[in-house]
Amino acid sequence: MTSAERPEPEAVDLGGVAGLVLDVDGTLIDSVYERTLAWKRAFATVSAHPPTWRLHRLVGRDGRAAVREIAAGLGADWSEAEVAEIRRRYEAAYAQSSATVRPLPGARDLVRALDASGRRWAIATTASRAATEDALRVLGGVRPHAVVAGDEVVRGKPDPEIVRTAAARLGLTAPEVAFVGDTVWDVMAARACGADAIGVLSGGWSREELRAAGARIAVTGVVELVTALQGTRSY
């Protein structure tokens, strides 16, 4: 058994954090692999077949930048209209497969604990508002103090706009919040505006990759944050 396959838990310290901002896909719901194959189906409709592992690594990134990155790898020269059409097909393919998507371990406990605590917390995701509302339903109809979806910002992650906007809607600055996410795009977005970054392994990135991007800590999943919250009186 390797450390990567069943990594040792790391201790989470949320002291000094005034608000918590959470990513959705790969962090609260177990949707990254369905999203990966949705990208694969979308690209196949334009006869493009990038290696699937590269699509996996684009989940959670700004959609337009993701398609441009794949185009560069393939040497494709898609127009803005074609890029928009591939993104539309990706959203449609994901919507078709999302019925099998479930909360990740601890996710419902985490959002319920946050709901009950009266603490400031927000959702910040590159996904569309519609997909985000579906995800919140999967989580049991929780009520974050703020939701920032991908179609409300000019640039998705790794641009910090989405994290900064979420912090502002909580009445906080970015350095006062901790952002929890599963991808290097999440970590980079958080670090670019001075927010604390907590990585989770539940999206399939390795601990080393998340830490190299700037995560203070990388835990196996949000289930480890539930314990940390219960042990922390204020943060």
Minimal distance, residue 28 CB to its own copies, in Å? 12
CA 202 vs. chain centroid, Å, equals 10
Q: Three-state SS for 164? A: helix
Based on CB atoms, which residue is closest to its own copies, 160 or 221? 221
Residue 194 contacts its own copies per CB under 8 A:
no
Minimal distance, residue 16 CB to its own copies, in Å? 27
Q: Yes or no: say if 224 and 205 are a contact pair by the CB < 8 Å rule.
A: no
Q: How many chain residues interact with its own copies (CB under 8 A)?
A: 39
Residue from 131, 188, 215, 228 touching its own copies (CB under 8 A): that is 188
Residue from 208, 230, 231, 234 touching its own copies (CB under 8 A): that is 208
Q: Yes or no: say if 147 and 130 are a contact pair by the CB < 8 Å rule.
A: no
Residue from 22, 184, 218, 226 touching its own copies (CB under 8 A): that is 184
Query: Do the bridges between strand 217-219 and strand 146-148 make them parallel or antiparallel, or are there none, so unpaired?
Result: unpaired
103 prior amide bond cis, ω within 30: no
Q: Which amino acid does the sequence have at 97? A: S
Residue from 203, 218, 225, 229 touching its own copies (CB under 8 A): that is 203
Residues 49-108 that bind its own copies (CB under 8 A): 49, 51-54, 56-57, 69, 100, 102, 104-105
- What angle do helix axes 80-97 and 129-138 make, rounded to 10 degrees? 20
Minimal distance, residue 35 CB to its own copies, in Å? 11
Q: Yes or no: say if 23 and 226 are a contact pair by the CB < 8 Å rule.
A: no
Minimal distance, residue 54 CB to its own copies, in Å? 8
Q: Yes or no: say if 74 and 48 are a contact pair by the CB < 8 Å rule.
A: yes
What is the phi/psi pair of residue 198, to 5°? Answer: -115, 120
* Residue ranges that bind its own copies, judged by CB under 8 A: 2-6, 26, 30, 32-34, 36-37, 40, 44, 49, 51-54, 56-57, 69, 100, 102, 104-105, 184, 188, 201-206, 208-209, 212-213, 221
